[in-house]
Amino acid sequence: MIGFTIPHRQINYAARWQLSQLAVVTAALIVAAVALPWLMRQIGMAGPNFLAMQLPVLLAGMLFGPLVGLTTGLLAPLVSQALSGLPPLAALALLIPELAAYGLVAGLAHHSLLLRPWVALLVAMIAGRAVLALAAALLAPAPVSVVMARAILAGWPGIFAQLLIIPPLVVACQGYLNRNDA
């Protein structure tokens, strides 16, 4: 059973924290999901290639549960669009359900199913892409295969970076939160 359960106590900060604390954490993660793509654009790293908005959304779900992940995924693209005009309005219909699925499924996989961070991340990445395919089938003028090929081929650097960065970051953050929460 390699990689399916967390060997230490279950970490469910959302159940132990007050609503005001979760609201502050969610707002901070939304700010990070808005700021990170902006910073990436400033240094010439385009959003569709490095998937910078996905990083805080995935972390939100994995660290604080499905509700915080879902909320961050739903609101981050809307706040970003309102403040910066990006992502473009046409992309919001695909991006909002995709990011919401990332946050929700990352939280469910890591908190409810107790999957290890790297397994929960893979499950969330697959679910997010599946929701993107569904949204594309319903809403996009281009064929689903074109939308998915574009998302995967253009986003491979971001996918690779997420696989390298998120699992150790989740473990480190959980260690910090466990020390400070006890």
Report the CATH number that the domain containing residue 104 is assigned in CATH.
Answer: 1.10.1760.20
pLDDT of residue 14: 58
Average pLDDT, the chain: 87
Winning range, highest mean pLDDT, from 58-62, 144-148, 173-177: 58-62
Number of structural domains the chain divides into: 1
- Give the pLDDT confidence of 47-91 residue by residue, as tens digits: 677 899 999 999 999 999 999 999 999 999 999 999 999 899 988
Of 9-13, 50-54, 158-162, 168-172, the least confident: 9-13
Distance CA 76, CA 53 (A): 8
pLDDT of residue 182: 55
High-pLDDT (> 90) share of the chain, %: 59
Q: What is the mean pLDDT of residues 148-176?
A: 90
Residue whose C-alpha is closest to residue 59's, from 89, 30, 97: 30
Is 1 inside any structural domain? no
Contacts (Cβ under 8 Å, ≥6 apart) of 116: 3, 4, 5, 6, 167
Is 5 inside any structural domain? no
pLDDT of residue 35 exceeding 70, the answer is yes
Distance CA 63, CA 106 (A): 9
Is 7 inside any structural domain? no
Distance CA 45, CA 38 (A): 9
Is 72 inside any structural domain? yes
Is 8 inside any structural domain? no
Is 149 inside any structural domain? yes
Higher pLDDT: 30 or 141? It is 30
Is 4 inside any structural domain? no
Range of the domain at 20: 13-181
Pairs from 32-39 (Cβ < 8 Å, separation ≥ 24) = 32/56, 33/57, 33/72, 33/76, 33/80, 34/76, 34/79, 34/80, 34/83, 34/84, 37/80, 37/86, 38/80, 38/84
pLDDT of residue 118: 95
